[in-house]
Amino acid sequence: MSDLMRRVTEFLAAHDPAATDRWEFLRARFDAGLARIDWPQGLGGLGASPAEQAAVDAAFAAAGAPNNRPALGIIGLGMASPAILRHGTSKQQQRLLRPLWTGEEIWCQLFSEPGAGSDLASLATRAVRDGDDWVVNGQKVWTSLAQFARRAILVTRTDPNVPKHEGLTYFVLDMKAPGVEVRPLRQITGESEFNEVFLTDVRIPDADRLGAVGEGWAVAMTTLMSERTTIGGGHSPRNAMVAPLMNTWRSRPELRTAGLHERVLELWVQAEASRVAGVRRRQAQAAGRPGPEGSAAKLSFSELNQRITAVETELLGAEGLRYADWRPERAPEGTVPAANRRYLRSRGNSIEGGTSEILRNIIAERVLGLPPEVRVDKDIAWKDLPR
């Protein structure tokens, strides 16, 4: 038995999951360095290789240990924590990471804006220094989990007199602060998965600034690269994407056609290739090396998921077009939504987490080394740009 697995065994012997309070158990696991073993000692990890994380998680699951609500924690764990670890101060890391990992604090991401579209650097939400605080005004949109979130990662404009990428600053926002208003948005599926968030004279202590003033773009890039790896590589396609199609194919032989058989087989092979590539990407992310490959993963996931759900809808015919579930709440964690709901929801995959057009630019420039897109606004102050 490795030293790591011995630690897990000893921890479980001292903290019986059946007899220990849920939050007490998760906090103790974090303090023992068994939350994310590749994180630094004292911050939920042991500074170990992430290669054994899956074995650690499996041992805890087999013992009946509580999980940290990973579906609700996807933004905090997948996007906020890499930025905190890389750009946060020691005090911020000590204060923020434990409740984030345990799931006691749900996080959301306040990046997208109505007037900025896919160009994050064009955002207009302003933060103005006032003593030890910053006063923030603006509007964000398409914010997942805002209705549940205790904290948010927030990018603001703090200097409109410099080019758009240079005048940004990154904060951690208390979503319960006065002036924060969350309004739900209805989607094509009927759900209210996303929200608008209005910020009116919201005060943020300077101690909650992540990174230096005016260097928010660099922190945002760490977040976005992690986001695309999380969305594109966070799925296990064999189970989460292609499995429902395969189940329909196996259980409904009367629907099969020769042409569809070839397409289903092709999608299964592509899903397997995506799953294996995702293992490498998740290991790189866990090691703190999110790269532009995450953009390729997210683009691949979007197109593959849309094709899979389209083929299943075609397979089901009229049955796949009937949609009657207009409940505003998301499907409970662990459930597989109906085929028609999955088809409608997949239309958003090519927009959320970076549009496919933006991702193709990143792949062209940073992976393939092609000449960058012409930017006529590169040296113009943000305040002078037409809007």
Residues belonging to the active site: 227
| DSSP-based three-state secondary structure for 202 | strand
Q: How many CB atoms lie within 10 A of CB 111?
A: 23
Are 202 and 135 a contacting pair, CB within 8 Å? yes
Which residue spans within the chain are E strands per DSSP?
107-110, 126-130, 133-140, 151-157, 168-174, 180-185, 194-205, 209-210
| DSSP-based three-state secondary structure for 63 | coil
Phi, psi of 34 (to 5 degrees): -110, 15
Nearest 5°: the CA angle 356, 361, 362 is 95
H-state helical runs in 32-121: 53-62, 74-75, 81-87, 90-102
Cα separation, 173 vs 175, in Å, equals 6
User: What single-letter amino acid sits at 57?
Assistant: D
Nearest 5°: the CA angle 233, 239, 245 is 115
Q: Residue 249: enclosing H or E segment and its boundaries? A: helix 242-251
Cα separation, 156 vs 167, in Å, equals 8
Per DSSP, the residues of 277-295 read: HHHHHHHHHHTT---THHH
Q: How many CB atoms lie within 10 A of CB 72?
A: 17
Cα separation, 49 vs 229, in Å, equals 19
328 half-sphere exposure, CB direction, 13 A CA radius? 8
Q: How far apart are the first and last CA of the chain?
A: 62
